[in-house]
């Protein structure tokens, strides 16, 4: 490969291209294995298209990635970045081994969904499907305005064609006769929930694009001769944009991954990796040195970020002590359980947006074939799903929609605002994978603005349960108690269970907790009562207010504060953020006067809510807020993000002591977990 800024020497030899693509497959699989997550299926299906582009078609300079004359490639389905990273590494943009050892690792440029600000050569930051073609259209328009000869490429998925924005972009590209733009669709026939044809039919794509004014090529997406021929011919088409429909196989090249929807977003384990490499004839690439490099990189991150944790007198991290034990269950499970139960109500209907199993919305009918007629697969189309639900609600149904928190509150926000909330329709929103703890998928998938987007909407009820048990009860309340729009936010990761069926749960009323002494079970170490029943019968130094999974950290902070520092705490669980329990906040402010808020969200959603309640009532209060400090997250393990962004109980303790102007009793001497 060229080591300077000279153009890449393109290869037209099919045998050599096949070899590069095989290596790309091997490196992509190794990287996802070491990361422990990622998207092998699509990475393997698109590998030949990307190899053709980087090695045989595009004018580019790996050592000068910002070269102004380069051809631009926008990969819209950015979950398939292991393919792009592997091909870029092979082409010489960076060390391929750094990618293999660093994919999705905290602090590396190899984000779970690419970030152009972190990795030169990547043209767009993204991960939200359906946006790549639009930015490519903008880039192609800019090229024309500036009289630049470079070409613009955009790779999309076939499931992605379900996003309406793709068709807005397609219309605009043809309207402006963008013959410098060439799209490729990786037609592997699969998406997350299954076959594209079953989830939401997009065929016939050729006819659709032709009728939108595009020139269409149809090729075998694993045949380099056909691919190169189509790219060459596309470059010669004048007056209209081109699209290449590349027929591919998801998981191509590894027999047990081929055409299997289950390999969309799952990393191979070590045995599977070895078997895959054997099939590719590239077992020798998995060297001991590479394995060691990946291991060392992970250990380095754990040390570096673990050391950011303030130190307590002993290891207070979950389940590190013989007593104070908790069960760890993802809050989404509670949501699924409730839906399974409540789904017997014939008014309830559920709508999925191609992420149905993992957010547990499919629990509605997974084991209930008789309910399948009330399940509507909407495809990757969050806006349409929301407004279709509004139509169902208008006629007396109780529809629940769901997706990743980012997509089901942000992508469809105008639909939520105007049709659902302004119309006060009985639509329920499952806000899945909330918070930063969604982890390795990275910033684009970490839902950190959703609660603000929801709470600001008139008529919307917003619930943010703290654990799986409370999620079940919150879901039931949202569906059956509230008449009108209601959202329940829950998380993907295992979360400490701190409530049980005896814990009070009243919609719109906070729960108040106090530490009573260590116990075998963490939850038994606290007394809990409904805010209305709480009597301030002891002097307290500090109030901690939290909700969602972060609430368990607030409880643990209270435990540390009481045990290590003699700070007496009142802990308020605001599981209902709207309508909020103002009385519970005002009593706390009046009784104690010092409040720390803790949220797994951009800071201030909860903090400013609490501050506003106090300010409006004229109750003076000293406050501090813990949350994401006006920043996007990044790829990492959930607990590493909690360490880095200061969301652990130990950080709450440190912040509380500052707020109380107390000197920490324990010195910072290293990590304790």
Ligand X SMILES: Cc1ncc(C[n+]2csc(CCOP(=O)(O)OP(=O)(O)O)c2C)c(N)n1
> Which stretches of the chain bind ligand X, using CB under 6 A?
42, 45, 77, 79-80, 127-130, 157-160, 186, 188, 190-192, 250, 264, 354-355, 380, 403, 407, 411
Stretch that binds Mg ion, among 28-36, 143-151, 187-195, 605-613 (CB under 5 A): 187-195
Is it true that the peptide bond before 204 is cis, omega within 30 degrees of 0? yes
Nearer to ligand X, 215 or 264 (CB): 264
Can you say how many angstroms the Cα of residue 380 is from the centroid of all Cα atoms in its chain?
15
Stretch that binds Mg ion, among 153-161, 271-279, 329-337, 661-669 (CB under 5 A): 153-161
CB of 159 to Mg ion, least distance (A): 5
* Cβ burial, residue 218 (10 Å; 0-12/13-18/19+): middle
Residues in contact with Mg ion, total (CB under 5 A)? Answer: 6
Q: Look at residue 264 and give the partner it binds from Mg ion, ligand X, none, a contact being a CB closer than 5 to 8 Å depending on partner kind.
A: ligand X
Nearer to ligand X, 98 or 357 (CB): 357
Q: Look at residue 77 and give the partner it binds from ligand X, Mg ion, none, a contact being a CB closer than 5 to 8 Å depending on partner kind.
A: ligand X
Stretch that binds Mg ion, among 157-165, 310-318, 319-327, 381-389 (CB under 5 A): 157-165
**CB neighbours of 435 closer than 8 A, spacing ≥ 6?**
405, 446, 447, 448, 491, 548, 549, 550, 600, 601
* DSSP letter string, 68-121: TTSPEEEES-GGGHHHHHHHHHHHTSS-HHHHHHHTT-TTSS--SS--TTTSTT
CB of 357 to ligand X, least distance (A): 11
Residue 6 DSSP symbol: S
CB of 80 to ligand X, least distance (A): 6
Q: 51 with 20: CB under 8 angstroms?
A: yes
Q: Look at residue 562 and give the partner it binds from Mg ion, ligand X, none, a contact being a CB closer than 5 to 8 Å depending on partner kind.
A: none
Cα(128)–Cα(407) distance, rounded to whole angstroms?
Answer: 8
Cα(474)–Cα(664) distance, rounded to whole angstroms?
Answer: 37
CB of 261 to ligand X, least distance (A): 9
Residue among 428, 424, 413 at smallest CA distance from 477: 428
**CB neighbours of 653 closer than 8 A, spacing ≥ 6?**
310, 312, 557, 560, 561, 564, 565, 664
CB of 42 to ligand X, least distance (A): 3
Query: What mask of x and - would describe binding to Mg ion in positions 340 to 369, judged by CB under 5 A?
Result: ------------------------------
Q: Is 159 in the site for Mg ion (CB under 5 A)?
A: yes
Q: Look at residue 129 and give the partner it binds from ligand X, Mg ion, none, a contact being a CB closer than 5 to 8 Å depending on partner kind.
A: ligand X
CB of 156 to Mg ion, least distance (A): 9
Q: Which two tokens stand for residue 95?
A: 């060390």
Q: Look at residue 411 and give the partner it binds from Mg ion, ligand X, none, a contact being a CB closer than 5 to 8 Å depending on partner kind.
A: ligand X
> What does the chain come to in residues?
673
Nearer to ligand X, 163 or 476 (CB): 163
Q: Look at residue 654 and give the partner it binds from Mg ion, ligand X, none, a contact being a CB closer than 5 to 8 Å depending on partner kind.
A: none
Q: Is 599 in the site for Mg ion (CB under 5 A)?
A: no
494 forms beta bridges with 330
Q: Look at residue 111 and give the partner it binds from ligand X, Mg ion, none, a contact being a CB closer than 5 to 8 Å depending on partner kind.
A: none
Q: Which two tokens stand for residue 397?
A: 């149904």
Q: Is 661 helix (H, G, I), strand (E, B) or coil?
A: coil
Nearer to ligand X, 83 or 642 (CB): 83
Nearer to ligand X, 42 or 102 (CB): 42
Q: 76 with 82: CB under 8 angstroms?
A: no
Q: Shortest Cβ contact with ligand X: which residue?
A: 157
CB of 248 to ligand X, least distance (A): 8
Cα(168)–Cα(149) distance, rounded to whole angstroms?
Answer: 25
Q: Is 188 in the site for Mg ion (CB under 5 A)?
A: yes
CB of 167 to ligand X, least distance (A): 14
Q: Which residues bind Mg ion (CB under 5 A)?
A: 157-159, 188, 190-191
């Amino acid at each position: 490969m060229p080591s300077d800024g000279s153009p890449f020497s393109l290869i037209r030899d099919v045998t050599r291209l096949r070899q590069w693509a095989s290596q790309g497959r091997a490196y992509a699989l190794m990287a996802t294995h070491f990361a422990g997550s990622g998207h092998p299926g699509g990475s393997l299906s698109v590998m030949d298209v990307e190899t053709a582009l980087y090695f045989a078609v595009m004018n580019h300079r790996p050592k000068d990635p910002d070269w102004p004359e380069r051809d631009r490639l926008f990969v819209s389905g950015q979950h398939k970045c292991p393919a792009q990273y592997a091909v870029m590494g092979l082409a010489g943009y960076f060390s391929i081994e750094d990618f293999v050892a660093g994919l999705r690792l905290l602090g590396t440029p190899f984000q779970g969904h690419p970030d152009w600000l972190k990795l030169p050569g990547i043209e767009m930051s993204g991960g939200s499907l359906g946006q790549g073609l639009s930015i490519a259209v903008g880039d192609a328009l800019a090229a024309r305005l500036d009289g630049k000869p470079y070409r613009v490429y955009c790779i999309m998925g076939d499931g992605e064609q379900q996003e309406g924005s793709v068709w807005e972009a397609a219309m605009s590209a043809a309207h402006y006769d963008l013959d410098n733009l060439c799209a490729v669709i990786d037609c592997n026939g699969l998406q997350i929930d299954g076959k594209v044809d079953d989830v939401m039919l997009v065929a016939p794509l050729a006819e659709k694009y032709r009728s939108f004014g595009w020139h269409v090529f149809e090729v075998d997406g694993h045949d380099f001769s056909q691919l190169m021929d189509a790219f060459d011919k596309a470059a010669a088409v004048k007056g209209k944009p081109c699209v290449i429909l590349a027929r591919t196989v998801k998981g191509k090249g590894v027999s047990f991954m081929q055409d299997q929807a289950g390999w969309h977003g799952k990393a191979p384990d070590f045995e599977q990796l070895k078997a895959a490499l054997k099939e590719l004839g590239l077992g020798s690439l998995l060297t001991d040195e590479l394995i060691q490099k990946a291991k060392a990189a992970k250990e380095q991150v754990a040390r570096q970020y673990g050391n950011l944790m303030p130190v307590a007198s002993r290891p207070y991290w979950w389940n590190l002590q013989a007593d104070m034990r908790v069960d760890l269950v993802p809050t989404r499970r509670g949501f699924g359980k409730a839906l399974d139960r409540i789904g017997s109500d014939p008014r309830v209907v559920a709508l999925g947006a191609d992420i149905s199993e993992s957010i547990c919305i499919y629990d509605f009918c997974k084991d209930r074939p008789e309910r399948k007629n009330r399940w509507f697969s909407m495809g990757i189309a969050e806006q349409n799903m929301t407004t279709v639900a509004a139509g169902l609600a208008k006629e007396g149904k109780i529809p629940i929609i769901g997706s990743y928190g980012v997509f089901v509150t942000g992508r469809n926000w105008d639909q939520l605002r105007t049709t659902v909330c302004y119309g006060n329709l009985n639509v329920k929103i499952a806000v899945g994978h909330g918070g930063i703890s969604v982890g390795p998928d990275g910033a684009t998938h970490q839902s950190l603005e959703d609660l603000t987007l929801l709470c600001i909407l008139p008529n919307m009820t917003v619930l943010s349960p703290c654990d799986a048990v409370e999620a079940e009860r919150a879901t039931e309340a949202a569906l059956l108690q509230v008449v009108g729009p209601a959202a329940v936010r829950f998380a993907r990761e295992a979360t400490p269970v701190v409530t049980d069926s005896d814990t009070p749960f009243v919609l719109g009323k906070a729960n108040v907790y106090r530490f009573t002494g260590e116990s075998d079970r963490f939850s038994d170490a606290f007394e809990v009562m409904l805010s209305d029943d709480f009597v301030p019968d002891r002097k307290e130094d500090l109030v901690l207010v939290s909700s969602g999974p972060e609430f368990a950290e607030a409880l643990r902070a209270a435990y540390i504060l009481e045990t290590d520092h003699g700070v007496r705490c009142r802990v308020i669980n605001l599981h209902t953020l709207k309508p909020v329990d103002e009385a519970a906040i005002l009593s706390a402010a009046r009784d104690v006067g010092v409040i720390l808020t803790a949220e797994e969200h951009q800071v201030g959603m909860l903090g400013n809510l609490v501050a506003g309640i106090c300010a409006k009532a004229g109750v003076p209060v000293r406050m501090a807020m813990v949350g994401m400090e006006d920043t996007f997250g990044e790829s990492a393990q959930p607990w590493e993000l909690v360490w880095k962004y200061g969301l652990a109980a130990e950080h709450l303790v440190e912040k509380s002591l500052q707020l109380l102007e107390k000197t920490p009793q324990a010195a910072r001497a290293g990590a304790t977990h």
